[in-house]
């Protein structure tokens, strides 16, 4: 299932320095890379920007060339109804299977369905996919993010 549902997420180390986010987004814009989902984690001095983009290879290479530290990791995404309890359903399944969620964030698009991105510890990745799938939740294939 991993090969079918694993989505490449890029994590980028950012100093909390004026203009750095602008430089990053400008680099992606110039390479015509589209950001599909994002989240920013931060401490007082630095942050990590997490991105799911339409072309991860290209994004990674232009960001590295521009001097950013980039790490690629696997995440998965699910589609739930955009109504109370949608998020709960997924988290409950993972929790019952004793899988810790490192972090999660939502897809930027609209519509009546919500797309949620989940990062779990790598050793639990396959198990998480299985649990969610068996729990009747729709897993989103990478083509949803990568396709233009």
Of 28 and 93, nearer to another protein (C-beta) is: 28
φ, ψ (nearest 5 deg) of residue 123 = -65, -20
| Beta-carbon count within 10 A of 112 CB | 7
Structure tokens at 97: 């299977």
The interface region with another protein, picked from 36-44, 83-91, 129-137, 138-146 by CB under 8 A, is 36-44
58 vs 138 by CB, closer to another protein? 58
What is the rounded end-to-end Cα distance, in angstroms, of the chain?
Answer: 23
Restricting to residues 43-102, name those near another protein by CB under 8 A.
43, 45-48, 50, 67-73, 102
Q: Coil, strand or helix: which one is 31?
A: coil
Site residues (vs another protein, CB under 8 A): 11, 13-15, 20, 41-43, 45-48, 50, 67-73, 102
């Amino acid at each position: 299932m991993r090969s079918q549902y694993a989505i490449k997420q890029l994590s980028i180390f950012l100093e909390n320095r004026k203009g750095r986010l602008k430089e990053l987004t400008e680099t992606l814009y110039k390479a015509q890379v589209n950001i599909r989902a994002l989240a920013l984690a931060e401490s007082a001095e630095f942050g990590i920007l997490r991105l799911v983009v339409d072309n991860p290879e290209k994004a990674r290479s232009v960001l590295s060339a521009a001097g950013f530290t980039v790490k690629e990791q696997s995440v998965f995404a699910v589609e739930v109804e955009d109504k109370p309890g949608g998020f709960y359903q997924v988290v409950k399944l993972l929790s019952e299977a004793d899988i810790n969620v490192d972090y999660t964030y939502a897809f930027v698009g609209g519509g009546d369905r919500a797309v949620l991105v989940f990062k779990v510890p790598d050793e639990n990745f396959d198990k998480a996919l299985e649990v969610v799938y068996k729990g009747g939740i729709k897993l989103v294939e990478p083509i949803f993010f990568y396709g233009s």
